[in-house]
Each structure stands twice: as structure tokens, then as C-alpha cells.
Structure 1
Amino acid sequence: MLAVIGGTGIYSLDGLEVLDEQTIETPFGPHSGPITTGLFNQQKLLFLPRHGSGHELLPHEINYRANIWALKSLGATRMIGLSAVGSLQEEIAPGELSLVSQYFDFVKGHREKSFFGQGLVAHVSTALPSCDHQAKQLINAANSADISLHQEKTYACVDGPRLGSRAESLFLKNAAQCDVVGMTNVPEAFLAREAQLCYTTIAIATDYDCWKEDPSAHATVEQIIARYDRSLALSKALLGQYLKQQEETPHDNTQCNCRNALKSAVLSSENNLSQEQKALLEVLQN
């Protein structure tokens, strides 16, 4: 089942026929908000607002582990994250969509970035952290709907909540060679891999961050919200076309390695694990 995580401005999904809303207990505390189970283009999916139903949570306040664990425990096997980003490249204009294939972790503050630890040991490969098979299906959907979609972009994740300095923006653009910058996809993307989920980010450019010399082009909250609102219809149209095509060509887990990410990653002996650790591992491996 597909889970959709909505970023800034996406607190519900238009066109979703709601079947159920629930909040569940997780080993990591509360998730961001109620999880909606519904039908979108006759496809059953889960929806969770990343920042809470009323945008109560700053990026560093999001309980990423609880979000991923809750969605996985409710049956999610693949995930699409919708995220507002600043563009670090001229060719990605504000209002345009990109698919992310790589993530650059520039988060310096404390965020819980792994399900593992305290005796439960695993090292998951994140050389290719996005699901290539799901990305190809989204590209096909974009082509069918005549939606422009940039591909194979690198997402730099920063702490927030402040917007970046120009020095930071230039570093991420030039030294790190990133294409877009945001505040939330790390550790979300890497936790999704630990949970053996097929994960893809649809990045919605709202501005050019602040690397340009012209101060009027630098990101402001007003610009972000105004441009993002206009782009939501485009991202939802892409999602709708993707789900429509899933009726004819469903996601094939054998076309990627995401669902086997833990196959050789766990080093702990099952005999040495507590009942709580065994239960956690069972959810992640399911």
C-alpha cells in the first residue's frame, strides 16, 4: 500500500475518499498527526501531514521515527513524500517539480536518524536511497499528464527553522553540488530505507533559496507560501495520474531492492534481542 506524506501546505489530500482516521501508539512516541486511510482514484492509500494537521511542528520537532513506524505498521510498503524546496539551480524554476535520487545530510542538530541502537545493530546501505522503480513510474505518469518533471536531483537537508544564509546556499550549490534544499527529508528518507519502504520525494520548488546576487530573489516565507500554493495542483495531478496508472501497471517489488534492505544489514543475533526489539524488527522487516 502507498503512503503519502504531505509537507508544508499539504495537510489533507483533495479528492481522497476518507475511509478512516486514526492515531496509533508507537515505540517512539506520537506521530505528526492523524493518519488517514482513504481511496484516491480507487486506490487505497495512507496519508500523513508531516508538520501536523495545522502545521504545529517545526522540522526539528517532527518525530520522524514515529511517522515511518506508524505508516509501516499500518501496511505501507511504498511511500511518496511531497516537499517544498528551494532551488539551487537556474534550470529548476520556482513552481516546477523534481524527483530526488540523492540526499546530502547537512543537519547539524540532534535528530534521531535510525531505528537501530541499544543492542539492535544494523547498517543499511543508502548508496541509492530512492526507489528507482517508483521514480520511473512517476516519470511515466508525468509524461502521460504532460507535466514537466526534473529527474535525478540531489536534495540537501538543513536544520531550519531559519532560512539559510547566502554562504550556506552557495556552499550547497557549488561545493556539495546539490540541486534543491529543504529541511525535512533527512532522516525521513533514510528511515524509510531502514523500514524497507520504496521511497521517493516529489520536490516542489518555491524559490531560488538565496544564492543569487539579487536580494529580491532571496527566499521569504511570503514567496514560499504563495508559490507553493500554486504548485500544489500540479503535484496532486502527478500523484493522481500515477495512481491511475497503478491500476494497469501496479508497483512490482521485484524491480527494486528496497523491500530487501535489511536482508544482510542486521548484525545482531535474534537470541540476544529483547521482546521489544524483536517486535520492532518484525515491523521493519515485514
Structure 2
Amino acid sequence: MLAIIGGTGVYQIDGLEVLEEVAVDTPFGPPSGPVVRAAFKDRTVLFLPRHGRRHGLLPHEINYRANIFALKKLGARQIIGFSATGSLREDISPGEFVIPDQYFDFVKGPREKTFFGDGVAAHVSTADPTCPDLTAWISHWAEQCGFALQTGKTYACVDGPRLGTRAESHFLRMAGCDLVGMTNIPEVFLAREAQLAYATIGIVTDYDCWMDDPSQHVSVADVIARYGGSVENAKALLLALLETPLPPVDPAYRETLSTALLTPVDQIPAAKREWLDVLRQ
């Protein structure tokens, strides 16, 4: 089943028939809100707004573990996220879509970045953290719909909620990053730990603040002014995707924990085995 994580501006999706709203209890606390189980023609999907339905959660307040766990528990096997992003490259323009395939963790605050620890040891490879099959599927249909979309880029994740300094923006550019945002880490890595295929569609809103022209520096007012049309395009792209068959899940994503888990299962307390079993499904 496909799950959709909505970012800024994507709190609901017209065209989906809401079947039910599911309040999911997780061992990691509450998710950002009830998970919406919805139908589009003959397909059932899950939907969860990352910041909550009324955008009440800042990036560092989101319970990423609970979000990913809730979606996996309800049957998700693939996730598409939507995220507002800033561009660190002149050839990535506001209004475009970008699917990153690499991530640079510049988060310094105490976000919970793994399901593991406290007696359950695992080390999951994130050399290639996103799903190329999902990326190719989205890219193909974006082209068919006439939407500009780039792939093969690197997303730098920062703490927020403040917008960055010019020094930080230039540092991230020197580090080889192409996009900057506040929410995809640890989401992408938790999806890998949960044996989920994951890709995020970055909706480019601005040039951050690395350009010499101050009028190009990011501000919330400019982001909101530019963002509406891009969000509607993103929703249109999603509905176009739902008209087509999902790509198959690479077996590698379904076997992540087979070699990553170090603690013998029979030595893990029963309560922890319950949530581990969900991740291993």
C-alpha cells in the first residue's frame, strides 16, 4: 500500500474519498494526527500531514518515529513525501519539483533518529536511502504531465525553525548540497529502518539566502506567495500517479533488517519484539 506524507500546504488532497481516520497508538508516542485511509477509484492509500492538519508542529516537534511506525502498522510498503525546499543551485528554480536521492544530515538538535537502542541494536545502511523505482515512476509521470522535475540531487536537512544564515547556505553549497529543508531527516532514515521504499517530492520555493541579490533571499511571506500554485501542481501530479500502477517494491527494501539487526531476537524483551515485528513485516 502507498502512504503519502503531506508537507507544508499539503494537509488534505481533494479527489481522494476519505474512508476513515485512524488514531494509531505507537510505542513511540502519538503521530502528527490521525492517519487518513482514503480511496482513489479502486486503490486504497494512507495519508498523514507531517505538521498536523493545522500545521501546528515545527520541524523539531514532529514525532517522526511515530509517523513512520503508524504508516507501517497500517500496511504501508511505499511512501511518497511532499516537502517545501530551498534551492542551493541557480539551475533549480522556484516552482520546480526535485526528488533527492542523497541526504546530508546537518541537524544538530536532539531529534530521535532511529527506532533502535535501549537493548535492540541494529545498523541499517543508508548509502542509497531512497527508492530508485519510485523516483523513476514519479519522474516519468511528471514529464507526461508537463511538470518540471529534477532528480539525482542532495538534500541538506537543518534544524529550523529559523531560516538559515548566508554562511550556512554557502557552507551547504560547498558541501555539495543542492536543496535545503527542515523535515526529511530523520524521516527518510526511519523509513529505511522500517523496510519501506521512500521518495520525497521537494517543492522548490526559493533560493535560500546564498545569492548576492537580497530580493532573492527566502522569507516566509515570499514562500507562501509563490507556493500555492506549486502545491496545486503537486496534488495534480499525485492524482496522475494514482491513475497508474505502483512500481513493484524492490526486495532489498523488504529485507533491510535481515542483516542489520545484531541483537538475537530471542534476547529481545517481548514488548520490544512487538514493535520490531511491525518493522520486519
Equivalent residues of 1:133, 1:256 under 8 A apart: no
Matched position secondary structure for 2:135 = helix
Aligned mates of 2:276, 2:178 — CA distance in 1: 34
Structure 1 partner of 2:278: 283
- What does residue range 178-217 of structure 1 map to in structure 2 within 5 Å? 178-217=177-216
CA distance in 2, matches of 1:135, 1:24: 28
- Most deviating of 200-209 and 135-144: 135-144
Residue 257 of structure 2 corresponds to residue 262 of structure 1? yes
TM-score, length of structure 1 as denominator length: 0.96
Q: Which residues of structure 2 form unaligned runs of 5+?
A: none
Asked whether the 8 Å contact 1:86–1:206 carries over to 2, the reply is: yes
1:85/1:41 CA distance change after superposition, 3 Å: farther
| 8 Å contact kept, 1:94–1:205 | yes
1:11-160 matches, cutoff 5 A: 11-160=11-160
Query: Aligned equivalents of 2:221 and 2:39: distance in 1?
Result: 33
Matched residues, percent identical?
A: 56
Unaligned runs of 5+ in 1: none
Say how many residue pairs are matched.
281
Amino acid of the structure 2 residue aligned with 1:280: W
Q: In structure 1, what is the equivalent of residue 9 of structure 2?
A: 9
CA distance in 2, matches of 1:16, 1:74: 18
Report the equivalent of 2:165: 165
In 1, Cα distance between equivalents of 2:241 and 2:46: 15
**2:222 paired with 1:223:** yes
Q: Any idea what SS the aligned residue of 2:137 has?
A: helix
The 2-side partners of 1:138 and 1:281 are apart by 30
Code of the residue aligned with 1:5 in structure 2: it is I
State whether residues 94 and 207 of structure 1, in contact with CA within 8 Å, keep that contact through their aligned partners in structure 2: yes
1:252 matched residue in structure 2: 248
Q: Secondary structure at the match of 2:123?
A: coil
Q: Distance in 2 between matches of 1:70 and 1:256?
A: 22
Between 1:79-88 and 1:272-281, the stretch displaced more is 272-281
SS in 2 for 1:263: helix
CA deviation after TM superposition for structure 1 residue 177, in Å: 0.8
Other structure's SS at 1:75 match: coil
The answer on whether the counterparts of 1:131 and 1:256 sit within 8 Å (CA) in structure 2 is no
- 8 Å CA contact 1:99–1:151 kept in 2: the answer is yes
Contact 2:96 2:147 in 1 (8 A): no
- Give the CA deviation at 1:238: 1.7
Q: Does the aligned pair in 2 maintain the 1:124–1:194 contact within 8 Å?
A: yes
Q: Shift of the alpha carbon at 1:199?
A: 0.3
1:237 match: 236
Q: Distance between the aligned counterparts of 2:239 and 2:251, measured in 1?
A: 23
RMSD: 1.0
Query: Could you tell me which residue of structure 2 aligns to residue 274 of structure 1?
Result: 269
Matched position secondary structure for 1:193? helix
Q: What TM-score, normalized by structure 2, do the two folds share?
A: 0.98
Residue pair 2:6, 2:82 contacting (<8 A) in 1 also? yes
**8 Å contact 1:132–1:256 — kept in the other structure?**
no
